[in-house]
Amino acid sequence: MLRLMQSRPFQKFVLNLGNGDRVLIEHSENIALDPDAEPATSEFYVITGKPRLFSTFGAVSSVVLADRGGAAA
């Protein structure tokens, strides 16, 4: 996920969570995390309007690039 967050130009991506929720990350500024923390237990915070999300990487089942409309590609 760090590679996606730091890619230039930035490409939108979707976090698919184990509970079925999907979170679109439209800008790198919309997600915050500690890059030095252990990935399996790291916490992250997403601000994308509503809802705001506080979760852990353990809750993410997959990460996929989004198309221009925001759907998972």
pLDDT tens, position by position, 49-62: 777 889 888 899 99
Closest CA to 19 of 59, 50, 53: 59
Q: Which fold has domain 2-65?
A: SH3 type barrels. (2.30.30)
pTM: 0.77
Compute the distance between CA of residue 51 and CA of residue 49 in angstroms, rounded to an integer. Answer: 6
- The two tokens of residue 5 are 């967050």
Beta strands in the chain (DSSP E): 13-17, 22-25, 31-33, 43-46, 53-56, 60-65
pLDDT digits (tens, 9 = 90+) for 20-37: 999 999 988 898 887 777
End-to-end CA distance of the chain: 16
